[in-house]
Amino acid sequence: MPHSPLIRMFNCSINLNASEEEAVRALPMRVKILGGKQDLVREHESPAQCCVVLEGYACTYRDMRDGQRQIVSFHVPGDMPDLHSLHLAEVHNSIGSIGPLTVGMINNSDLHRICREFPRVAAALWRLTLIDASIYKEWISNVGARDARTRAAHLFCEVHFRQASIGRVRDNAFDWPVTQIDLGNALGLSVVHVHRTLKNLREAGLIDYERGVLHIPDINALMEAGDFDAGYLHIRTASERAAMEAH
Amino acid sequence: MPHSPLIRMFNCSINLNASEEEAVRALPMRVKILGGKQDLVREHESPAQCCVVLEGYACTYRDMRDGQRQIVSFHVPGDMPDLHSLHLAEVHNSIGSIGPLTVGMINNSDLHRICREFPRVAAALWRLTLIDASIYKEWISNVGARDARTRAAHLFCEVHFRQASIGRVRDNAFDWPVTQIDLGNALGLSVVHVHRTLKNLREAGLIDYERGVLHIPDINALMEAGDFDAGYLHIRTASERAAMEAH
DNA sequence: CGAGCTTTTGAACGCAGTCAACAATTGTGG
DNA sequence: CCACAATTGTTGACTGCGTTCAAAAGCTCG
């Protein structure tokens, strides 16, 4: 069922009707499996295809001239991290895997076709890019205006809610193959300080992790610590989607 | 000619044909004039209209619980800072003026209509949101991974190129009503440090400003100082647009 | 079982923040 | 048009959060 994360993603926006769903399922998709730390897209390329994350974590990042790396977003199943290649000539960020990653590659031409044929599908993809932009804005606020502890707590909350929305949180825990180095690159902190910050959060009982699994005993406490409000993720419940459709 | 910044914006993406241009010009638009430091949109609203910047600077920002403010983007004429309201239920950032500002308000329903009727117009707006996302990603890198001096230089380069692309740079100078306080909120720096950083850039001969005008004697030197590559702005020259159309 | 990552810890340093005071500029009301 | 208020810009001294450097311990995987 390689298309199912894609279908679920669309259904978060528009509740696909039968013919739309059929068209999405018919999209030619090449499944690609990567190990940890491999690149899917490199800066300054002009890819002719888009990817959908099917399983695992991807991240969008940028390497600075001084060798630092800045991760600007993590991607979970259902995300399409490089939709910009549909309308922009050149990519200015790299996309890579964090831990084992499965993605589906879809040709831009096929996506353009389905967008022309099914305007609601186009709107759903547009909506997806708007949500991405919303997440980027929050990430700017996080990196620009919060101290290390709050910043880390906020990021964990974000990942928690995104994983929860696709049913990947069990017993308050989810997969977390992200190293402290990655985390430093995402939070704009040095590895040493990331470690101290995590230690702090762990000692406060806000998080707990072992062998690639992150456990959040009390999400409300972590949200408080992370100055977190999930609204910017624009996650819709089933009833909200139904209400939307009715209108 | 209140619609002309809008027309120019579209032409940066798709070279509007006659009927498309007519439709855009026919969009009902209410012109609104604001003084400095007024809000256009406040967090947690659900606006039924979008704005186009016609003249001056707007900014998207977020107020943190500790009273800090993070500006996540400046907007110049032709920008549509709140397109998210077209597809997302609630806004999670405020939009305000910086100095005197003229905007055009367009009803979401009218925009939805024109998008349905003219798919290329929809694509152009989608492209606009993709460029916004690209700018946000760069802003994250800027705030997360560069030191104060580089960060400030980078921001000045960005504004320079965006103003230049709409013909608002004359003699290497452009309007700059942004206070050091605003700049601090944008760069994630304290006012005191912004001042020290600007002094540094001024003494190095990289920038020069007086009474609301910023002068950049040597943009290449500033780009070097700011680790700046304009690609992420996706500004197209006329010939690039023509080539695009041909394809 | 050894090589290479990743995590952990301590110590010293430095960039940027905070505090405080004053100058310059802009705005406002009489 | 002037007097006064408010905002913005400027500067110095001190502080602190997070970085850098260095070294060792734990993992992971060929």
What mean pLDDT is predicted for residues A95-124?
Answer: 96
pLDDT in the model for residue B46: 85
Could you report the per-residue pLDDT of B114-172, keeping only the tens digit for each?
Answer: 999 999 999 999 999 999 999 999 999 999 999 999 999 999 999 999 999 999 999 99
Residues in chain B with pLDDT values less than 70: 238-239, 241-247
Task: Give the range among A10-19, A71-80, A105-114 with minimum mean pLDDT.
Answer: A10-19
Spell out the domains of chain B, with CATH numbers in brackets: 4-142 (2.60.120.10), 147-233 (1.10.10.10)
What mean pLDDT is predicted for residues A19-24?
Answer: 95
**Whole-number CA gyration radius for chain A:** 18
CB neighbours (10 Å) of residue A243?
11
The Å distance, CA of A55 to C1' of D26, is: 28
Residues from chain A contacting residue B242 (CB–CB below 8 Å): none
Instruction: Give the chain B residue whose CA is nearest to the CA of A126.
Output: B126
Q: Residue B63 pairs with which residues in a beta bridge? A: B69
Helices (H), chain B: 4-13, 18-25, 108-117, 119-145, 148-165, 180-187, 191-203, 219-225, 238-246
The Å distance, CA of B192 to C1' of C17, is: 8
Task: Give the residue whose CA sits closest to D28 at C1'.
Answer: A211
Residue A160 tokens, joined: 């928690």
The Å distance, CA of B40 to C1' of C10, is: 51
> Following DSSP, what letter does each residue of chain A receive, concatenated?
-TTHHHHHHHHHHS---HHHHHHHHTS--EEEEE-TT-EEE-TT---SEEEEEEEEEEEEEEE-TTS-EEEEEEE-TT--TTGGGGT-SS--SEEEEEEEEEEEEEEHHHHHHHHHH-HHHHHHHHHHHHHHHHHHHHHHHHHHHS-HHHHHHHHHHHHHHHHHHTT--BTTEEE----HHHHHHHHT--HHHHHHHHHHHHHTTS-EEETTEEE-S-HHHHHHHTT--GGGG-PPPHHHHHHHHH-
For the full predicted model, state whether its pTM sits above 0.85.
Answer: yes
| Contact between A137 and B73 using a beta-carbon 8 Å cutoff | yes
Q: Which protein residues have any CB–strand D distance under 7 A?
A: A 147-149, 188-190, 192-193, 196, 211; B 37, 179-181, 191-192, 195-196, 198-199
Measuring CA to CA, which residue among B109, B110, B105, B84 is closest to residue B24?
A: B110
> Following DSSP, what letter does each residue of B103-159 receive, concatenated?
EEEEEHHHHHHHHHH-HHHHHHHHHHHHHHHHHHHHHHHHHHHS-HHHHHHHHHHHH
Instruction: Give the chain A residue whose CA is nearest to the CA of B190.
Output: A145
Chain C nucleotides covered by protein, CB below 7 Å: 5-11, 15-20, 25-27
Residues from chain B contacting residue A62 (CB–CB below 8 Å): 137-138, 141
Q: In this model, does residue A182 exceed pLDDT 60?
A: yes
E strand or H helix at B94: strand B94-107
Could you report the per-residue pLDDT of A200-247, keeping only the tens digit for each?
Answer: 999 999 999 888 999 999 999 999 999 999 999 999 876 676 666 665
Residues from chain B contacting residue A187 (CB–CB below 8 Å): 144
